[in-house]
């Protein structure tokens, strides 16, 4: 079943499968209150409500989709998806950056989708732009340095590689 282009976020919450601004959305029971953007798909837990919190989550995930479109699968998966997945599993007290959405890969999705959160610090927003530019600029042999050194530093919230 093909869905027409939809800019009304409310429609996403009323059906099992829909779309939002060209991105396929699916409501999945096992996700509960969680959501994820996997390439061209937004996966939303069935417990997410059509309210301000649900809308912010939908917009945030759409921001990840915009990153995916611009970066491509490989850069998106390694630079955004992998750190996001690993840090989502960490307990908040184990993260050096206070606030899940202050992590650069999360803050950037908010920036792209015009989500403004009270928890965003100016430093987090600046860091997210620097991180995104770094990921977008990696070419050739620099991927090895990224994969075997910088990526793991970033996941541990060590962003000194961005200062060079």
What's the CA gap between 96 and 155, in Å, rounded?
A: 10
Mean of pLDDT over the chain: 86
The two structure tokens encoding residue 63: 């921001």
| Contact predicate 34/11, CB 8 Å | no
* Predicted model pTM: 0.87
**At residue 133, does pLDDT exceed 60?**
yes
| Contact predicate 134/75, CB 8 Å | no
What is the tens place of the pLDDT at every residue in 33-85? 888 898 889 999 999 999 998 999 999 999 999 999 999 999 999 999 998 88
Of 31-35, 64-68, 89-93, 118-122, the range with the lowest mean pLDDT is 89-93
Of 65-74, 87-96, 154-163, the range with the lowest mean pLDDT is 87-96
The two structure tokens encoding residue 15: 């059906």
Arithmetic mean of pLDDT, 98-117:
87
Return the pLDDT at 130.
93
As a whole-number percent, the residues of the chain with pLDDT over 90 amount to 41
């Amino acid at each position: 079943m093909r869905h027409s282009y939809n800019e009304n976020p409310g429609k996403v919450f009323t059906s099992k499968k829909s779309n939002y601004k060209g991105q396929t959305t699916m409501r999945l029971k096992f996700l509960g209150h969680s959501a994820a953007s996997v390439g061209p798909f937004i996966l939303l837990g069935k417990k997410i409500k059509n309210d301000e919190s649900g809308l912010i989550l939908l917009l945030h995930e759409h921001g990840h989709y915009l990153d995916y479109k611009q970066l491509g699968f490989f850069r998106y998966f390694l630079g955004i998806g992998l750190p996001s997945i690993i840090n989502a599993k960490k307990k908040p007290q184990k993260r050096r950056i206070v606030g899940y959405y202050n992590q650069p890969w999360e803050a950037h999705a908010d920036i792209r989708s015009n989500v403004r959160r009270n928890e965003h610090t100016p430093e987090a927003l600046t860091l997210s732009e620097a991180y995104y530019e770094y990921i977008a600029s990696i070419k050739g042999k620099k991927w090895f340095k990224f994969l075997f050194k910088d990526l793991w530093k970033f996941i541990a919230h060590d962003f000194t590689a961005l200062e060079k």
